[in-house]
Structure 1
């Protein structure tokens, strides 16, 4: 993607606009308050507010105004908190969300928000055309809307500064129209209807009205053009919300006093009939619709520009991130927005477009509130807003948005959620590399802290799973160990890939770099694992030190996985290490491969079906139970789900074959792991002979190790001799004292 962020570009990530600077840009009144209040006092107020009062009555209207403004107010508080913590650059709400919850969430909300702003252009130009047709019935409403949309787009394309300055004249016209309305007169004899039960349901009316209070986005979207966004966004936004609330709470009273419900519903321009001088209302309608359309067509391209510059959009759309002139105006984005708006104008129905906008804006408000709530709840040192808002207020705003969305239209809410989630995963699978942090790590850290403190050191057979410490050395050389660990855990337990480095081979900085390289290598190969490197005089001391010190609270590796020792000169120290790990109450799993067979049972392309042999001895205590658990964990992995587990037991007395077979069958049935059983009569043969003949065709062979004692090295060497020239074997030594029978449900 082209790098649009120049070193001295005031829109770049590195540029900082501090309070008090005299650098060029818009102030609070012109950049935030004016576009916000002009969008709030827009087409819905002039053309649909009477319809709202007529459908739900005075009290119903006031309730709608309070509910809608409460959501907007809580969202405004969240915006203030985020805006006073960091400099908000181009992109407004998208910028805030992406820098708080990550690029994926920002993109998931930013793309629908862009379309909401682009559709708003159509909403306002259709409103303009509708009011013009009411005054001049013979004109074609669609053609007027198309022409006005095109003119608004051309104005924004040519010069954003001219469009912004025009808003001051429009504000004067709106003020005059409101004065004319408030000092107006009744249009008929009527009595105040507190509650009305007409055709439109309450929440349908709410959905039509709600876009009237979403004007705060107009100011937020201009964040990249503000001289001092940290100061201007909070004050300008809150003043706009307060002004709009005061007007929307008083207007219904005058409307209910001056006309009955049927008239209010039937006459879109009822305000004109009530005003002292009707043409001023038309002037206000035209001014409000045009100013709102201008505000939307100025805001939407800036969101699109920010999305393109952050790489959220596909690479072929990166041209939309281009800026023109000293003000970095998004002219390519303006043209794209104009196309979207013209397409929406062809739909031509205010009542159809308004609810769609409501869902888009409510989704944005919900995520904005969640961003502020999470930031406030985590209390990260990096989140230090000068405008402090308790996280409960932001959470209340988010919950309010969600409830209202379902009350308006549950199906549309689910569809909106599917769209947002779909965009989220679409952005995520592209694995964008961003230069900013977000709260997700802080959220996981808070959950991790709670989980660790809630997890005690008491043995829990019900929730046991292997937490593996893999002594792999260089992962590329002993990759089969990591494959076995991945097959055993399969997203259930933690894997830590570890290696012991010689003392003095690397300093701490180089060691951290090597850990990062190993993590990246594991991620590229699809393995989720932690990485830990230590330095020690020899690898055995390092392994013992890892087991002794590695972990956090009760979350420590309970199982050590390592490779077989091939060098006889190191075998004594190797066996001593195993004995020390056993005394430290760790399970030990040793993988012994046969390089002569060139066999890797953990490859996805291996032959099927596959066979796992468990050589049974010593009953359910210790090694027997752990081998069964490990075999079961392997088969619950999708790559091993067709594996056939076979319990094999050698007996020396022919009279005991039937009893042993019955006991083994009963055990396999009781354990519910789908294992077969086979009792083999020794008939004078050694165990080594029986093992070689019976397991030569297996893919994996499980064998238990004797508890470490004085002759442990000799017993280990015996295992090595037994499995020479056999397929991959796994030696298992269970930790002393742990109830593996309880894990299998034998208690």
Structure 2
């Protein structure tokens, strides 16, 4: 249900900059919108439309075209009645809903489309003038230049003065329509025939539709004046929807007059057939000239205001920020008008805009589409902050967006693709600049909704087919232990989740200070190219804090499945450290202990040694981690050595065959290496065989009840002494990592 706010209760002024001297609904929105809708297509192409599809087909085209514009008008009205719409019109609405990057990606092309439209309209005015007065035929470009400068001077002088000038233009258009309505047939009734209902076999319906559709796309002329309105939230919906309604009524009546007063030949071959039908033919010329001049005025008023808003929001480069300055009590964008005049004059001098005209239409339509998307997303999310007094069901806005997209393809598919590429290129450019806006937008709400749906549909049962490490990194201060975070990033490839966690002493930070520190760490990690969450807790000691994190951190089934922590050489902490590892393992988490060789680091990142103890338990997880490393950017193409120690050569022969067969089945590119101990202790073989490795992976035994795990861990550390950087891996006991490797269903 659509609720029209024609009567609104008194509300406090939300924008102190609004002034009683601003433009009202009729002059600021309705007038520029209706004058752009009733444009040159009505005067010069409507007869051709009726000739090809008849008045019945014409009514269908008018209804379908206006429906798309009407849905867009509803979306604009919803956004305009939710917030104060300041300078920038459509750009302002989009940027405050979908973000500054999306607003800029649409706003920059929209500015150039409006600036070049000034040249299109003044060239059209000059052409119609020279056709009516042959003496001016050789001075067409000069006439267009003079006209362009004149409308720019009018805009620089005052927006109010330009609007008053449009009243005279509206009077000329009304006079032309009345003259046409009281006109006379130019063809005998017997010659009109039955073609006037359905037309003759000529251009296809959708080709005719594409020619007519730009006639109903003038609603941005009023929206772009948002910064000059007394009450934008009231004037934009009333003025825009009124202009759409009046335009629709006029366009529904005209086909009947045309089809019953002229034959097929006259409508097809005479662009000014309305002049021949009209009671006073020259009134149609006044209407044509008024239509072109009003459209030029609407563009020269709107384009600088979009440019002013882009500059003020920092979308434009810093060297162009001066374009955001306003002049006078009405904050008029004089600098922007001069720049727009320069663009228009350059386009007039080129003269032929036929090649870029379709792309300009695409920019206008893409603006309409994105406005519909913004209203649809806002309405769908139903955020408490979105409270328009003009409520529109979100699916109507979505239908409007799909309608705009369909029309873009129907009018000119190539131009639509070109426009899409340009908009996407600007979006990427703005995103890389990492613009900071002082307002929130709907993107966060959209991500929250998607996250909610994803978590609710995630399920509690682990899935071996889609397993990825969701890593909780107990890093302490990340600046001092960056290799831990780097390793986690290499494991996840920015596909799994990383949480960088620190445990601070109890009472060292309050909640506000913790949040501030989390923000700083998140910024530091992001600047180094790692996508990660950050969590800080306080606890009596770091081991208690780690256990609390694992116990409480996460959302529903989305909890860390792997804990990555650094090794500890401190004997006084070893018992608590090992107790913490045992607790983490009992909580069904995999544990990875990172033992860094500070002199070697990760060295060349070319070789990973995995000491094999079987596919089950630790072996499967170690191979998965090695594979994830070698497919990451910094470890790309590293060689994985699968190492196994056997007591004698007899056992080695069978082991080699089994290990090679396993390596081939797993499709990881791992090389098997079977070593014969010949009585040598394993630590000696380990140090000798892996001394040239860049990373060594060793499995840890599972902590047992009644076992002194700290004593075992001390022996493990002694065995790894002198090795390159090493990982001690303890796999979660309840997860079948071998099924992830073998791809079992």
Deviation of the 1:161 alpha carbon: 1.9
Moved more, 392-401 or 338-347: 338-347
Q: Which residue in the other structure is 1:729 paired with? A: 726
Q: TM-score, length-normalised on structure 1?
A: 0.94
User: Secondary structure of the equivalent of 1:744?
Assistant: helix
Aligned: 1:324 with 2:327 = yes
Structure 2 gap ranges (5+): 1-11
8 Å CA contact 1:208–1:351 kept in 2: the answer is no
Offset from partner CA, 1:697-724 (integer Å, 9 cap, x none): 0000000001102132122111111111
8 Å CA contact 1:208–1:354 kept in 2: the answer is no
1:136-147 to structure 2, matched below 5 A, reads 136-140=133-137, 141-147=140-146
8 Å CA contact 2:604–2:694 kept in 1: the answer is no
Runs of 4+ in 1 over 6 A off after TM superposition: none
Q: Which residue in the other structure is 1:611 paired with? A: 607
User: Secondary structure of the equivalent of 1:497?
Assistant: strand
1:85/1:341 CA distance change after superposition, 3 Å? same
Deviation of the 1:261 alpha carbon: 2.8
8 Å CA contact 1:57–1:261 kept in 2: the answer is no
Moved more, 119-128 or 202-211: 202-211
Aligned: 1:374 with 2:377 = yes
Offset from partner CA, 1:94-115 (integer Å, 9 cap, x none): 1000000001100111111112
Q: Which residue in the other structure is 2:345 paired with? A: 342
Aligned: 1:406 with 2:406 = no
Aligned: 1:45 with 2:46 = no
Moved more, 275-284 or 137-146: 137-146
CA distance in 2, matches of 1:118, 1:82: 25
Aligned: 1:303 with 2:310 = no
8 Å CA contact 2:89–2:225 kept in 1: the answer is yes
Q: Which residue in the other structure is 1:288 paired with? A: 291
User: Secondary structure of the equivalent of 2:557?
Assistant: coil
Q: Which residue in the other structure is 1:424 paired with? A: 427
Aligned: 1:655 with 2:653 = no
Q: Which residue in the other structure is 1:383 paired with? A: 386
Offset from partner CA, 1:254-306 (integer Å, 9 cap, x none): 11112223322322222111111112222222222212211111011101111
Deviation of the 1:15 alpha carbon: 9.0
Q: Which residue in the other structure is 2:57 paired with? A: 60
Deviation of the 1:85 alpha carbon: 0.2
Q: Which residue in the other structure is 1:111 paired with? A: 108
Deviation of the 1:566 alpha carbon: 1.3
User: Secondary structure of the equivalent of 1:628?
Assistant: helix
Aligned equivalent of 1:268, options 246, 267, 271: 271
8 Å CA contact 1:126–1:350 kept in 2: the answer is no
CA distance in 2, matches of 1:257, 1:320: 53
CA distance in 2, matches of 1:75, 1:101: 16
Moved more, 30-39 or 462-471: 30-39
Q: Which residue in the other structure is 2:585 paired with? A: 582
Offset from partner CA, 1:309-329 (integer Å, 9 cap, x none): 111111222222121111111
Offset from partner CA, 1:658-712 (integer Å, 9 cap, x none): 0111111111111111111111111111001001100000000000001102132
Q: Which residue in the other structure is 1:100 paired with? A: 97
Aligned: 1:449 with 2:448 = no
8 Å CA contact 1:91–1:221 kept in 2: the answer is yes
RMSD: 1.8
8 Å CA contact 2:665–2:742 kept in 1: the answer is no
1:673-684 to structure 2, matched below 5 A, reads 673-684=668-679
1:678/1:365 CA distance change after superposition, 3 Å? same
8 Å CA contact 1:17–1:227 kept in 2: the answer is no
User: Secondary structure of the equivalent of 1:642?
Assistant: coil
Aligned equivalent of 1:632, options 619, 627, 648: 627
Aligned: 1:695 with 2:690 = yes
Q: Which residue in the other structure is 2:660 paired with? A: 665
Q: Which residue in the other structure is 2:14 paired with? A: 16
8 Å CA contact 1:585–1:735 kept in 2: the answer is yes
Aligned: 1:121 with 2:118 = yes
8 Å CA contact 1:90–1:223 kept in 2: the answer is yes
CA distance in 1, matches of 2:403, 2:277: 35
Offset from partner CA, 1:345-364 (integer Å, 9 cap, x none): 34556866653332121111
Deviation of the 1:31 alpha carbon: 0.8
1:409-488 to structure 2, matched below 5 A, reads 409-488=412-491
Q: TM-score, length-normalised on structure 2?
A: 0.95
8 Å CA contact 2:82–2:388 kept in 1: the answer is yes
Aligned equivalent of 1:81, options 78, 81, 87: 78
Q: Which residue in the other structure is 1:162 paired with? A: 161
Q: Which residue in the other structure is 2:601 paired with? A: 600
Deviation of the 1:396 alpha carbon: 0.2
User: Secondary structure of the equivalent of 2:594?
Assistant: strand
User: Secondary structure of the equivalent of 1:646?
Assistant: strand
Q: Which residue in the other structure is 1:4 paired with? A: none
Deviation of the 1:455 alpha carbon: 0.6
